[in-house]
Structure 1
Amino acid sequence: MITVLGSMNLDVVARVERYPSHGETKLGKGVEMLAGGKGANQAIACGRLGKDVSLIGCAGRDPFGDRLIHSLQKNGVNSEFVKITERASTGTVLVTVDDTAENTMIVIKGANEMLTTQDIDACIGLIRSSSVLLVQMEVPHEVVLYAMTEARKHGVYIILDPAPAEGVTLDMLGFADLITPNKQETKHFTGIDVTDEASAAAAARQLADAGVKNSIIKMAEQGSLIYADGKCTRVKGIRVEAVDTVGAGDSFAGALAVALDDGATITEAVEFATAVSALKVTRSGAQDGIPTRDELDEFCKSRNLTLYNNRP
């Protein structure tokens, strides 16, 4: 069983030809209001890929919160451990997506900030019975660290998606069994600008010196570099026609947790997660675009991809 600790947000997504310059007004192509949040997205990735998964999070007592809870439930996520608060409105993200499918975001944390260590105490039984705990940084630092500490006591495998990187501290890195920074987050931690396999390997070794056991340096279209057991392994990206990159990293993280929960090796898990996130970016919506297992199998067949879960 997988437990995800993280944020729940309503994504207000505006589509434009190009981003406006400072002070400039641009006409958009359309706007959508979609369920999102890194925690919810990652939990839904696990659910759509067939896993027993629960989310620990917090939403406001408002129509947006109701909508997010419904999205969890319809995608197979246990919402029993989602706290509802009247002290803040549901988290909201203002997203702009341009014609290259790249995005910018403004995050208003809202109810996500209301999650406390006492809420984690109420979920200790869930965490202890999980095989994997997946966390990110859109909820309070002390809550994430406390959950990781408790999970470590009980031998739960901990994956840290260190986004946004500003909330991550070195003590937190030491509690994770695996971290998954992208290029920008890697530079934040190491000062190394990841441009190729060699620079990614240098950054991974620096993270290892800081106490990180295993890392996956995500390099966008260049794929990923895995650092595990003192060795580096490259997993190439899958070339697709991108439509919407919002939630791509979350689908990667959720798929990674799914594969590791299945007993896959880290390399097999990254190959699986790479295929899931590649298919996701060809579809719109941080949650609606996440593929199911059947959709992933069809994608793999069309690309002659062999993954651990569909080997004969």
Structure 2
Amino acid sequence: MAQPARIVVVGSLNMDLVVVAPRIALEGETILGGQFSTMPGGKGANQAVAASRLGAKVHMVGCVGDDGFGQELLAHLNQENIDTEYVSTLAGISSGVAMITVNESGENSIVVSSGANARMTPDHVRRAESVICSSDLLLIQLEIPMETVEEAVSIANRHQVPVILNPAPANQLSEALLKQVDILTPNETEGKLIITGQADGDASVEEIISTLINKGVKRVVMTLGGDGAAYSEKGTIQHLKAHQMEVVDTTGAGDSFNAGLGVYLAEGGSLEEAVQFAQKAAALSVAKLGAQPAMPSRIEVEHFHNKRSNGGEVYES
């Protein structure tokens, strides 16, 4: 590939406050935890860092506060070779923070205080229109106001820039927005909420994907955790197995997946190849603690691919 893929990520930046504990505390319960770490996070920034490490030229569009965390978040993105021209620092506002507990099985519980992310307006996105229109792909999530998400997607559509929308955290989406999305990447909970209005609604993977396609989404890629992924292609639904990994922390696995999917598609790969590449990136990310610290490089993903291809797992569809 002569030039790296150009990806613009519109979304959140948080500081993750991570504590490892034997288990997730019950309501009203206090338990003693172990290791504590402060790590850059936020779904938007996670996806930006992952995409950059996977070889893309990345622009980040978002907001931080004028506090110490905001300075650290910007410095970290710059260290990751991400263009932060359109990350705004908001006066008198705190940066977003995520309180994360990780249990011994690597599963997590997360509470987010949105801070500056909640103050990101459509105007912040409009200022970055020149970057969006010159990109190969827009990657966006739902940790910023919905009107800002809608404006970013609208701008991308106007300039015929493909859009991957990761509908996380789970939220209902209008059909007008869905019709402008090239690829929607829900997990099962998010998919159920979008089509039934309830996160625990009764709907199979096939029903979720078919309903979303009928609502106007061009293609759907569903992440299924340990059960792999499912995606729509030419009127059929394909399934791919997950890689079996020793799980340390699942935080950021979905962000690694979305970044891998976006990078590979922006480079001109097929959807099947992109999903396979994304699965490898996500699998590697769960083997380390934290979100951004665990994001793999392109070399690590390619090494993982070669290792698994030579006597390793075989994909099934």
Report what 1:70 is aligned to.
75
Equivalent of 1:112 in 83, 108, 117: 117
Report what 1:257 is aligned to.
262
Instruction: Confirm or deny that 1:300 pairs with 2:293.
Output: no
Displaced runs of 4 or more, over 4 A: 192-195
The amino acid of 1:302's aligned partner reads: K
Separation in structure 2 between the aligned mates of residue 295 and residue 274 of structure 1, nearest angstrom: 13
Separation in structure 2 between the aligned mates of residue 49 and residue 289 of structure 1, nearest angstrom: 13
The amino acid of 2:157's aligned partner reads: R
Separation in structure 2 between the aligned mates of residue 57 and residue 168 of structure 1, nearest angstrom: 21
Secondary structure of residue in 1 paired with 2:154: helix
Shift of 1:66: 0.9
What are structure 2's unaligned runs of at least 5 residues? Answer: 1-5, 312-317
When structure 1 is superposed on structure 2, of 66-75 and 246-255 the one drifting more is 66-75
Report what 2:55 is aligned to.
50
State how 1:9-20 maps to structure 2 within 5 Å: 9-20=14-25
What percentage of residue pairs aligned between the two structures are identical? 37
The amino acid of 1:141's aligned partner reads: M
Shift of 1:297: 1.9
Q: Structure 2-normalised TM-score?
A: 0.92
Shift of 1:126: 0.5
What are structure 1's unaligned runs of at least 5 residues? Answer: 307-312
State how 1:104-183 maps to structure 2 within 5 Å: 104-166=109-171, 168-183=173-188
Q: Structure 1-normalised TM-score?
A: 0.94
State how 1:186-197 maps to structure 2 within 5 Å: 186-191=191-196
Equivalent of 1:88 in 69, 85, 93: 93
Separation in structure 1 between the aligned mates of residue 293 and residue 237 of structure 2, nearest angstrom: 34
Q: Structure 1, residues 29-78: CA drift from partner, whole Å, max 9, x if none?
A: 12111000000000001111111010000001111011111111111211
Separation in structure 2 between the aligned mates of residue 80 and residue 224 of structure 1, nearest angstrom: 35
Is this contact kept in 1: 2:172–2:194, CA < 8 A? no
Is this contact kept in 1: 2:102–2:108, CA < 8 A? yes
Separation in structure 2 between the aligned mates of residue 117 and residue 21 of structure 1, nearest angstrom: 39
The amino acid of 1:117's aligned partner reads: P
Instruction: Name the CA shift for 1:234/1:118 in 2 (closer, same or farther; >3 Å).
Output: same
Shift of 1:20: 1.6
Shift of 1:194: 9.5
Report what 2:43 is aligned to.
38
- Number of aligned residue pairs: 304
The amino acid of 2:112's aligned partner reads: V
Is this contact kept in 1: 2:96–2:117, CA < 8 A? yes
Report what 2:315 is aligned to.
none
Separation in structure 2 between the aligned mates of residue 305 and residue 115 of structure 1, nearest angstrom: 47
Shift of 1:161: 0.2
Separation in structure 2 between the aligned mates of residue 139 and residue 22 of structure 1, nearest angstrom: 28
Instruction: Confirm or deny that 1:22 pairs with 2:11.
Output: no
Secondary structure of residue in 2 paired with 1:165: coil
Shift of 1:202: 1.8
Equivalent of 2:278 in 273, 277, 280: 273
Q: Structure 1, residues 4-28: CA drift from partner, whole Å, max 9, x if none?
A: 0000000001111011221111000
Separation in structure 2 between the aligned mates of residue 295 and residue 148 of structure 1, nearest angstrom: 32
Is this contact kept in 2: 1:214–1:229, CA < 8 A? no
Shift of 1:168: 3.1
Shift of 1:104: 0.8
